[in-house]
Structure 1
């Protein structure tokens, strides 16, 4: 989806410098120093406009959160939400990440959220999908024992692909539903902007939680 251009985007992003991290690769193994506590750290890759991550952070103030988003015009709204909610336990990375291990040390994260990721529908782009098997294993490297990866999508093909990749990678499924909002996991679910839009039209939401 093409993102609208925002005038003076760099200047506007600079207004939220207290929430953003520059040179995040230099913090590998030292992320607890960013939050000045020993609370568990959760990561959302592709936070969009921030509804999910800011709601999660407000619900669990005893946890820390890192949100990654490369689209500047989109993440601007997420930064605005975090500021409006006075979130003190969220930091943002304004970039795209190829290998999560370049940014986080082994076991440094408590869990990872992947919400409505780009499906990259062409077969030749399969390796770009955030649930490609190699990427899933990379996530597992930086998640501590007992942690998990949670994935949601409205895209049936991407979900089928993800399940195949999970099996091939030898990972264990903890929870799964092809209609999350009608499932036993619905009460604990925190939605994204996309999710609300899709669900309002009756579209089912696919969900899987994987042990890292």
Structure 2
């Protein structure tokens, strides 16, 4: 969802280069230097307002997290939280998720999150879905061997498409939940803003976890 412009976003981003990079040209293989210490790198592609990634960074200090979004208004809202929190294991990236190999080196990322991505329901827009094979190829390139991809959505059509797409790509489906919030196997789950909204209305949340072979 496109967020309204934030007049203060540009100034905030320019003032806090210690927390955010904007379409960097030389970040490949250099991300660990931006954190307090080297740790496995977890990336959320399309972080929205940042509730999920900020809470993950708080809950799991043993990992380094990157919030990535193409919308300046969205990433600025996350940055505002980070300026207050000053989490040592959280960095931000204002860039397009369609160009991940421009920002990350091969085998640099341990884990990727795709949370409530745009479903692009029309067939002619299939190539824009973040679980389309061209995106999967990018994820595989930047991820470590056996790196995990986690995907959550409220859209059943996109979830079904993603199950097929990942399977056809040759990935292993390690976990599939058709109603995440009522699945007894789930012992840890941090919600996104959308997730909390839809779950409150009784909408089932779908999740999969998959690894590249």
- TM-score bracket, normalised by the shorter chain, equals over 0.9
Distance in 1, Cα, partners of 2:86 & 2:50: 13
Shift of 1:22: 3.6
User: Which piece of structure 1 moves more, 8-17 or 118-127?
Assistant: 8-17
**1:119 aligned onto 2:122:** no
Shift of 1:105: 1.6
Give the corresponding residue for 1:158. Answer: 158
Regions of 4+ moved over 4 Å = none
Q: Please, which runs of 5 or more residues in structure 1 have no aligned partner?
A: none
Q: What do residues 24-75 of structure 1 show as CA deviations (whole Å, max 9, x unaligned)?
A: 3412122222225321111000011111111111111121111111111222
Q: What do residues 149-183 of structure 1 show as CA deviations (whole Å, max 9, x unaligned)?
A: 00000011111110110111011000011100111
Give 3-state SS (helix, strand or coil) of 2:121's partner. coil
Give the corresponding residue for 2:26. Answer: 26
- Evaluate the alpha carbon distance shift between residue 29 and residue 157 of structure 1 in structure 2; reply closer, same or farther with a 3 A threshold: same
Q: Please, which runs of 5 or more residues in structure 2 have no aligned partner?
A: none
Distance in 2, Cα, partners of 1:40 & 1:90: 12
Distance in 2, Cα, partners of 1:153 & 1:179: 10
Is the contact made by 2:120 and 2:129 (CA closer than 8 Å) also made in structure 1?
yes
Give the corresponding residue for 2:199. Answer: 199
Give 3-state SS (helix, strand or coil) of 1:161's partner. helix
Shift of 1:185: 4.1
Shift of 1:135: 1.0
Is the contact made by 2:23 and 2:93 (CA closer than 8 Å) also made in structure 1?
no
Give the corresponding residue for 1:44. Answer: 44
TM-score with structure 2 setting the length: 0.93
Shift of 1:18: 2.1
Shift of 1:3: 1.9
Give the corresponding residue for 2:85. Answer: 85
Alignment of 1:124-135 (within 5 A): 124-135=124-135
Give the corresponding residue for 1:104. Answer: 104
Give the corresponding residue for 1:186. Answer: 186
Shift of 1:102: 1.9
